[in-house]
Amino acid sequence: METVEAAAPAAAVSPPRFSGRRNAANEGACTPSCAQSSRSDCQRNGLCASTEVVAVQTKAKRKPSAAARMRRMANQIPEEITKNAELTKAIEQLPWNYNFEIHKTVWRIRQAGSKRVALQFPEGLLLYACVISDIIERFTGADSIILGDVTYGACCVDDLSALALGADFMVHYGHSCLVPIDVTSIKMLYVFVDIAIDVDHLVDCMKLTFASDAKLALMGTIQFSSSIHLVASKLSDHFTSMVVPQVKPLSPGEVLGCTSPVIEGVDALVFIADGRFHLESAMIMNPNLKAYRYDPYPKVLTLEKYDLPQMMAIRRAAIDEARGAKNFGVVLGTLGRQGNPLILDHIKQLLEQSGKTYFVLLLSELFPDKLARFKDVDAWIQIACPRLSIDWGYAFPKPLLTAYEAEVCFERTRWREGSYPMDFYAKGSGPWTNYHDRKK
């Protein structure tokens, strides 16, 4: 994400996000582009340079159990919805390659007997909110409300606000089921909004860019999940190895801005996304892995770099400064389901055992100017999103530590030289993560 500087010197300017971006061309690495090019064009642009790579294992398909078949029948959308000509005509107002799962949504709302439906969209999909709202009201008879607060990710599911507004059903668009539906306060439907792309173009790009003996990993954001698996299946026989990594509880191939799998045994990662934010998570978790990003809109495949040493130097300096702090502020994120009370309890215990004074501050969003008002605070620990500290921490007047960095600060865990954990929603990780102890 690039920040445009204000033209007037006196205007307030948001600090740029630390993206770890480095110019691959300046390091002698080509930046291949396959955008609508022929094979000869790709060869002239250096797309056929050899690259080392990995493989894909496929599992034998198991027959569905009787219980699974019964659930499938119960969830089968009736023809009165799937073959409703008026509904189909209304859906045509939406982009053909964006799957908003309207038929399924109408069916689920009718099944639930919902009277008021809350709709939550990420910023990039809000322009379709009114059309979808009208469709839902017309074909379900329920009222609908659009939640307009910013939605950065799957952690921002705002079922509590929906409940407070009288909703009895909620549809969250554009993210995976990070907050389980048995935890939310009202009935919930997640719609990933799968986006169809030119899969054959990406397949051709990868064939031209990598040698056939390459071992590759393929990942991306949740919108391109279907395309990820389709590309992997098309290329499984072409390359020596093609894998779709997974860190549970996320789906295979899925990456969050704060959570990525450790990828081993591959030479390069190809990541499908129209931005760098999620890819940066994978690059931070796998600093020695060569990473490429395929943007499906301009149809460009680029070699990406991340300056991990610079990022880690900034974060280590913040930790060292916080070690001398006496008064701490602990921020619990309240944007949707972002803040975890269990992690908060753990951080409070760390501070008390270390003889530090502290107070807890609830905030939906963190800004440098806001925290600067607390003059007596020597250092902050935020339980919201690790990327706030990684990307923006340098812009805050006092150290802004993540829960992991607090563990390092109070010498409860060691600093990982040469790597930084991106495991905030991964199972089986440290006490700074959301799934450390599910029994509690």
**Residue 23: pLDDT band with limits 50, 70, 90:** low
DSSP letter string over 369-395?
A: HHHHT-TT--EEEEES-HHHHHHHGGG
Among the listed residues 214, 177, 210, 203, the one whose alpha carbon sits nearest the alpha carbon of residue 192? 177
**Residue 261: pLDDT band with limits 50, 70, 90:** very high
Does pLDDT of 24 surpass 70? no
**Residue 64: pLDDT band with limits 50, 70, 90:** low
Mean pLDDT rounded to a whole number for the chain: 86
Strands (E), 39-102: 98-99
Q: Measure the CA–CA gap between 235 and 22, rounded to whole angstroms.
A: 29
Q: Measure the CA–CA gap between 213 and 199, rounded to whole angstroms.
A: 21
Q: pLDDT tens-digit profile of 243-253?
A: 999 999 889 99
Q: Measure the CA–CA gap between 102 and 171, rounded to whole angstroms.
A: 11
Q: Which domains does the chain have, with CATH numbers?
A: 24-57+197-304 (3.40.50.11850), 101-192 (3.40.50.11840), 308-409 (3.40.50.11860)
SS3 190: strand
Cβ 343 vs Cβ 432: under 8 Å: yes
Burial of 304 (0-12, 13-18, 19+ CB in 10 A): buried
Q: pLDDT tens-digit profile of 40-61?
A: 333 333 333 333 333 333 344 4
Q: Measure the CA–CA gap between 112 and 124, rounded to whole angstroms.
A: 28
How far is residue 182 from each of residues 159, 186, 263, 340, measured CA to CA in Å?
12, 9, 31, 17
Q: pLDDT tens-digit profile of 272-331?
A: 999 999 999 999 999 999 999 999 999 999 999 999 999 999 999 999 999 999 999 999
pLDDT at position 32: 41
Mark out the alpha helices in 242-307 (DSSP H runs): 277-285
Q: Which helix (H) or strand (E) holds 161?
A: helix 159-164
Sheet holding 116-120: strands in order across?
A: 143-147, 116-120, 169-173, 187-191
Provide the CA 191 distance to its chain's centre, in angstroms. 15
Sign of CA dihedral 242, 246, 251, 256: negative
